A = this chain, B = another copy of it.
Amino acid sequence: MSLARSPLAPAAFPDLASIDGVGMVTTNTGLRYRGRPDLLLMRFCEGTTAAGVFTRSKTRSAAVDWCRQALAAGAGRARGLVVNSGNANAFTGARGQEGVRITIEAASRILGCRPEEIFHASTGTIGVPLDGPRIASCLEAMAPELSSEASWEQAATAISTTDTYPKGAGAETSIDGKTVRISGIAKGSGMIAPDMATMLSFVVTDAAIAPDVLEALLREGADRSFNSITVDSDTSTSDTLLVFATGKAGNAPVTDLEDPRLDGFRAALFSVLLDLAHQVVRDGEGATRFVTVTVTGATSNDAAKRIALAIANSPLVKTAIAGADANWGRVVMAVGKSGEEADRDRLRIAIGGVVISENGEAVEGYDETPVAEHMKGQEILIEADIGLGDGRATVWTCDLTHAYIDINADYRT
């Protein structure tokens, strides 16, 4: 089953900067896919720092387990990254762990570093143990090519599964007057049985940033980006977001999260993460509309986010959007079911910037015409003001269409 490029996809893959201190190479392992790269090897120079955030699933994959251990054992230092697509190596027991061990051992030998400086992610079919020896022999063959660097688009392609387009984003800023570059790739969230929804993202910068500062920045940025998007509320066993900082830009290392020199970098990193996260939503299975849900006036930012996610995850809201139906009653319903504090009679709902209801009822003389027009577009804005406090949050999602069912139900038939 081959999928047409999402109608919400960007026009083209962006022109991303090479990052000093990074080598990249891709290949085809022959494990599942033909005619495209499915294995990515990245090499980082000495002194590279790393930080990661991972799925909260209790049934996470062996590769996720490894990355969490490696970050702790290696004190946030990185020398390499291995990502394969086509096999998630999830729910594969001891044999899956053995596949990871062989992969890490091979990469650390090839790159001449400690095992805990190698990071690893897998995406694809679950329940099938990863063929470690096959990956190891591919890595051996790839190593000599690390100098003649692969393109970011090839790298983004190598980590993708059922994505309908490769995803990349970049930014440039400065620290200490030194130009700093950020380039990143992502995959998600196409799912074909028995594959699973997985979001992977890898971001590389030449800034010099201490591991604990990098981790704090990543955690905050992930909350505002990858943790603020939803396609179908399902959480993968393998979600992985890693950032690597080579330090080659030449700035004096940033060791304090409050350092004002970070301001530009923080904004640039967040913009890259948000761009990548949006691209994942725009490739949601069957998506035809990109939906922004903003909640204000909640009792806290966390409450606002839970309400926004209740709206964004509601199948009734998402099918209404697919049908271009300005069904504000379903937004009311979703606010009510979120479990967060809400007062029916203070709630204000707007779609496409037009206030539809306030004080517990439809506004006097509500004219649906402009809202119906907005619903026909590809970019939908839903706003709910709870009227109780200052909490606010924005999340992004897509509509729920027939194509979602096609992709996820009819795949084997």
Contacts and interface: CB of A to CB of B under 8 A. Distances in A.
Given A194-B327, A362-B127, A408-B316, A59 B93 contact: no
A405 B319 contact: yes
Interface in A184-209: 191, 193-194, 196-197
Interface residues of A, number: 72
Contacts of A34: none
B344 A91 contact: yes
Contacts of A329: 90-91, 126-127, 193-194, 196
A408 to B, nearest CB: 4
Contacts of A315: 232-234, 315, 400, 404, 408
Contact of A333 (B196, B337, B341): B196
B193 A327 contact: yes
A323 B93 contact: no
Contact of A332 (B126, B191, B357, B411): B126
Contacts of A129: 361
Interface in A377-413: 400-402, 404-405, 408-413
A57 interface: yes
Contacts of A95: 361
How many copies of the shown chain assemble into the complex? Answer: 2
Contact of A400 (B324, B327, B337, B405): B405
Contacts of A337: 56-57, 234-235
B405 A405 contact: yes
A251 to B, nearest CB: 40
A138 B44 CA distance: 79
A196 B330 contact: yes
Contact of A127 (B339, B345, B361): B361
Given A60-B344, A323-B193, A92 B361 contact: yes
Contacts of A361: 91-96, 127, 129
A87 to B, nearest CB: 12
Given A234-B337, A329-B196, A409 B413 contact: no
